[in-house]
A and B are shown apart, each in its own frame.
Chain A
Amino acid sequence: MKRIEVDLEEQMVRAYEDDKLVHEFICVTGDDDHPTDKGTFKIFRKQHPYRSKTYDVPMDYAMFFTEDGKALHQYHGPAPLSLVRTLKTELTEWFGSHGCVRLEEDAARTLYEWAPMGTRVHVS
């Protein structure tokens, strides 16, 4: 069985198949004002490409896991995600997302291709 674990403290996403780690990626999650929901969810919608009308931004390789639209997706910002992640963890929450789990493009695509609908997403 496949599952995705999002570690908010480490800002890491790990993908497991039958309890074996198969993918590990850095990520950036929600800021203090828009925290990523903790709990266990299921991917109920996938779409590539995707564009959020709420924020008018691209969210490619989107895999939605909460009813209000939080997803794992590609980060499209101007700076490398690794830098944004460092700034979020070391400097200020201001660099966080609005609750989504942002991934580098390769990571987002790999995870999108790997995770079928219904894959469990555990956020802690």
Chain B
Amino acid sequence: MAIYSLKTFITKQGLAGLILLSLLALPFNPAQAGQPLKPGTEVFAVAPEKVVEISYRTADFWFLAHRWQVGDRFTLIFLKKGKPLPERCLAGDGFQTVLRQLTSLKLRQTPTPEQVKEILRLHPLSTWAELVIRDDSALEPFRAWMRPVADSSGEVWLHFLDATYRVNLDSQVLKLISGGCQTLGQGKSP
């Protein structure tokens, strides 16, 4: 389609069109390193009511929250290394805290490339938790890697695509997740 349109365009516009297209191929606008976002800006956010799945996975723990459609209650599944059977429950109030926090990841600081290189040297991504959030739109799910900041509670390192950020995340969230149905299930509060 694009090729057909291009041919049509050149045919219609003649030499002038060809020149214009040639000019467009020139790197007028080379990629520039963008300014970092302002602290407090959400580097990722999604409307919680549109979320249908959250997966949080480490080397020995996997938390999956799933619902077939928006409006349904989430079913929570916890798998722990060494435990043959998963723990399963319906989501309770504690889960709403987790959902709210994970769907609004606000920037605390953008580290320098040197800092990122050092963080990833000390802690390869394979040791980070994988976070996947799927919503009910046609968009691909958000996939990121997360690691608590060693010297600060309430913050995590977040890595996705080619970006690494230091973002706010209530220290309760990871504790709630690791508590399983006891903290996130129906009838339990954080």
Residues of A bordering B, CB below 8 Å:
33, 42, 44-51, 53, 60, 64, 67-69, 76-80, 83-84, 87, 91-92, 94, 105, 109, 112-113, 117-118
Cα–Cα, bound, A113→B138 (Å): 24
Report chain A residues within 8 Å CB of B140.
53
Contact of B42 with A87 in the complex, beta carbons under 8 Å: no
Report chain B residues within 8 Å CB of A117.
42, 45-47, 104
Cα–Cα, bound, A1→B161 (Å): 32
Contact of B47 with A46 in the complex, beta carbons under 8 Å: no
Given pairs A33-B1, A50-B161, A117-B46, 13 additional interface contacts (CB within 8 A): A44-B47, A45-B47, A48-B43, A69-B139, A76-B31, A78-B29, A79-B26, A83-B24, A91-B13, A94-B5, A105-B32, A113-B41, A117-B42
Report chain B residues within 8 Å CB of A47.
43-45, 142
Contact of B45 with A68 in the complex, beta carbons under 8 Å: no
Among B9, B29, B31, B136, residue most surrounded by chain A Cβ atoms (within 10 Å): B29
Cα–Cα, bound, A76→B46 (Å): 23
Report chain A residues within 8 Å CB of B163.
48-49
Contact of A69 with B24 in the complex, beta carbons under 8 Å: no
Report chain B residues within 8 Å CB of A44.
46-47, 50, 135, 137
- B-side interface size class: 35 or more
Residue from B25, B35, B50, B162 within 8 A of A49 (CB atoms):
B162
Residues of B bordering A, CB below 8 Å:
1, 5-6, 9, 12-13, 17, 20, 23-29, 31-32, 34-35, 37-38, 41-47, 50, 104, 135-140, 142, 160-163
Cα–Cα, bound, A78→B23 (Å): 10
Contact of B28 with A79 in the complex, beta carbons under 8 Å: yes
Cα–Cα, bound, A60→B38 (Å): 15
